[in-house]
A and B are shown apart, each in its own frame.
Chain A
Amino acid sequence: MAEQLIPHVIESLIGTGPLLIMIFGAMAVLVADVLLPRDRRPLLSVISLVVVALAFWDLHMVGSPGGSGSESYYFGALRANSLVFLAQNVILGGAFFLILIAPRYLDGKRIPLGEFYALLLIAVTAMLALAASTELLTLFLNIELLSITLYVLVGIENRNSHATEAAFKYFLLGSVAAAFLLFGIAFVFGATGQTRYDRIAEVIAAGGIVQPAFLAIGLGLMLVGFGFKLSLAPFHMYAPDVYEGAPTPIAAAVATGSKVAALGALFHLIELASGWSDAPAGLWAALYAITLISMIVGNVGAIIQPNFLRMMAYSSISHSAYAVVPMVVLLRRPDLLIDARDAVGYYMLAYTIMTLLAFGVATILGRQGEGRIASYAGLGRRAPLLAALMALAMLSLLGIPPAVGFFGKLRLFAVAVEGGHYWLAVIGVLSSVASAYYYLRVIVTMYMQEPAEGAEPAIPTLDRVNAVALSVCSACLFVFAIFQGVYLFGS
C-alpha cells in the first residue's frame, strides 16, 4: 500500500503544482502585509502578480495531456484534460488582468489590501481546483472554499452598506445552494456507494446501481447547487445585487472565473451522467427547462435594467445558459462528447475575454462605471479609448462576427444542431438577437447622448499599466477569433 501511495502523492503534488504555488503565494501575501511598512503596501499587488505568473508558468510546465487524453491526481479527486487545461489558463489569465486593473480602484475604497489579495489568490486556487474536480467530496469542498472566500471578498469594503448587504444575500442563498448540493451528493453516494466519478461510471456501466431513483434525485438536487454557482434562472436572485454591491474587480471574478470553474465541474458531472443510458428523461428535461428559462429571464431582466452592472448580471445569466446548451445535448447524445467539450471550452475563453474587458472599463471608471447606464453619456467624446473598448466588448457579447463572441455562439449552437436540438439553437439565436437592444443601448448612450448640463463627472486618466492591460485584452478579442476562424473555415 505505502509503496504505491507515496509515488502517487508526489506525482499529484507536481501535477497540481499551480495550486500549491497559489496557496503558498497567498500566505506570502499575508505575511508580507504584516512585515511591509504602511506606505509600501502597493507592493502586495506586485507580489500577487508574480505568484499568478509563476502559477501560469508551472501550469504550462506540467502541460496538458494532449488531445482527448486525461490524467488523474489525488486518487481520482482532480482530473487534467484539455478542457481543464483551457479553463485553468482562462482563470489565471483573468486573475492576472484583474490584479493589474484593481489597485487604483482599491485605493479609493479603503479596502484592506493584504487580506484582499490573499483571499483573491485563494479564491483563484479554488477556481482552478473546482474546474478539475472529478470526485463528489472534492467538488463540494472546492465549491464551498470558493463561495466562502467570495462572501468575504464581496463584503470586504468598510462602511459600505451596499457591499455588506450584497455579501449577506450571497451568503444566505449560497448556503442554501450548498445544502441542496450536499443532499444531492448524499443520494448519489447512496445509489452507487462511490464518490469518485470514474468508479461511479464503472458502477453504472456494470448495472450495479443500488437504487436508480436515488441517483436521479441526487443528480437533480446537485443541479440546483450548480444553478446557483452559474446563476442560472430560478437560482439567480443574488446575481444583480452582488454585481452591483461588490467591489467591481470582485464582481468581475464572480462573473468570469467562478463561472468558468463551475462550468468545468458541471461538464465533468454531465459527462458522467451521459454514460447512464437509462436515466429518467426528467433529468434532461430539467436541464433543458433551466436553460430556456435562464435565456428568457436574462434577456428580459437586462432590457429593463437602468444600472450598468445589474444589466451585466442579467446578461451573464443568459450567457451561462448558452454555455449549458452543449451539456443539454450531451445528456442525450454521449457520442458528441468531443464536440461539446471543445465548444464549451472555447465559449469559456470567449466569454471571459469580453466580460473582463467590459468590467475592466467599468473598474477604471470607478464610481461612474457602477452607476446607471445613463451616466455613460458622452463618454465617446470625453474618453474615446475607454468608450471604444467598451463598445468592442458590447459588440462581442452581442455576437458581431469578427470578434470571439460570434465564434463562441456559433460553435455552441452548431453542437445543438448536430445533436438534433433545433429548438434550442433557434431560441438561442433569437435570444442573442433580443440582446442587441441592451448592448447597443450602452453604445448609443456613449456616443449619441450628452450628459445633463453641469453633471459631467471627471474622467479618470488612464495610466500606462491599465492601458496596456486593456489593449492586450481587446487584442485577445480578435486574436482568438482569427485562430478560430482559420480552424473552422481553413480546413
Chain B
Amino acid sequence: MLIELIYGILFILALFSALMVVLSPHVVYAALYLVMTMVSIAAVFVLMNAPLAGALQIIVYAGAIMVLFLFVIMLLSLGRHEGPRMHNRGVRVLGGLLAGAFIIQIAVLYGSLRDDLGGYSLTNAEGITIEEVARILITDYLYAFEMTSVLLLVAVVGAVVLARRHLIQGAQDADASH
C-alpha cells in the first residue's frame, strides 16, 4: 500500500513538473522543473528495483547535463519573456491533433495492459544486477562501447570549434573595456 502511495505521488510530480517545463514563462524555472522531472523519474527507477539507473539518472542527467544547461542560460543571460505563445493556427491544429493521437495511444496502452500483462512481470524479476549489465557492455554492445569514445571525441572537438572564436573574442572585448 505504501509503495502505491509513493508511486502515485511520484507519478503526479513527474507529470506536473514536465507540464511546467512547457508552461513556465522563465527559462531558469523551466530548467529547474526539468531537474524535478528527472529526479522523479530516478525515484521511479529505484522503486522499480533499478538503483543503478536511478543513480546514473541523478548524477549524469540531473547533475551534469542540467548544470550545462543552467551554465549556458547564465552565460547568455537569458530568462525573460519566454512563455509559450500560440503563434500560428497551423501549429495549434497540429499540436491538437498530436495530443489527441497520443491520448488515444495512452488509452489503448492502458486498455491492453490493465487486465492482461502478457509476458511482462515486475515481481519475479530480481532486478538486473550490475554484473549482467557490465557483461553486456563488453560483449553484445562492444561496438557501441567503442564508438562512444569516438562520439565523445567529436563532442569535444565540435564544442571547441563552434565556441572557440567567440569565447576568445568575448574575453578580449571584456579586457578592452577595462
Asked whether any CB of A lies within 8 Å of a CB of B in the complex, the reply is yes
Which residue of B is nearest A22, CB measured? B150
Is the beta-carbon distance between A119 and B158 smaller than 8 angstroms? yes
A148–B158 Cα gap in the complex (Å)? 8
Is the beta-carbon distance between A141 and B158 smaller than 8 angstroms? no
Is the beta-carbon distance between A144 and B143 smaller than 8 angstroms? no
Size category of the A interface is 35 or more
A23–B151 Cα gap in the complex (Å)? 11
User: Does residue A465 face the partner (Cβ distance < 8 Å to B)?
Assistant: no
CB contact between B154 and one of A135, A152, A196 (< 8 Å): that residue:
A152
Taking the closest CB of chain A, its distance from the CB of B163, in whole angstroms, is 11
Contacts of A479 on B, CB cut-off 8 Å? none
The main secondary structure of chain B at its interface with chain A is helix
Is the beta-carbon distance between B154 and A137 smaller than 8 angstroms? no
Is the beta-carbon distance between A115 and B157 smaller than 8 angstroms? yes
Is the beta-carbon distance between A141 and B154 smaller than 8 angstroms? no
Is the beta-carbon distance between B119 and A210 smaller than 8 angstroms? yes
Size category of the B interface is 20 to 34
Which residue of B is nearest A75, CB measured? B140
The main secondary structure of chain A at its interface with chain B is helix
A160–B142 Cα gap in the complex (Å)? 40
Which of A125, A149, A196 has the most chain B CB atoms inside 10 A of its CB?
A149
Is the beta-carbon distance between B150 and A122 smaller than 8 angstroms? yes
Contacts of B155 on A, CB cut-off 8 Å? 148
CB contact between B151 and one of A75, A148, A155, A217 (< 8 Å): that residue:
A148
Contacts of B140 on A, CB cut-off 8 Å? 75-77, 195-196
- Contact flags (1/0) for A144-178 with B, using CB distance below 8 Å? 11001101100110100000000000000000000
Contacts of B120 on A, CB cut-off 8 Å? 210-211
- Chain A residues 58-99 with CB under 8 Å of chain B are 73-78
Is the beta-carbon distance between A149 and B154 smaller than 8 angstroms? yes
User: Does residue B88 face the partner (Cβ distance < 8 Å to A)?
Assistant: no
What residues of chain B have their CB less than 8 Å away from a CB belonging to chain A? 105, 108-109, 112, 118-120, 139-144, 147-148, 150-151, 153-155, 157-158, 161-162, 165
A149-B158, A152-B162, A156-B161 given. 20 additional CB < 8 A pairs? A23-B150, A27-B153, A75-B143, A77-B140, A119-B154, A119-B157, A119-B158, A119-B161, A135-B143, A137-B141, A141-B144, A141-B147, A141-B151, A142-B147, A145-B151, A149-B154, A152-B161, A210-B118, A210-B120, A211-B118
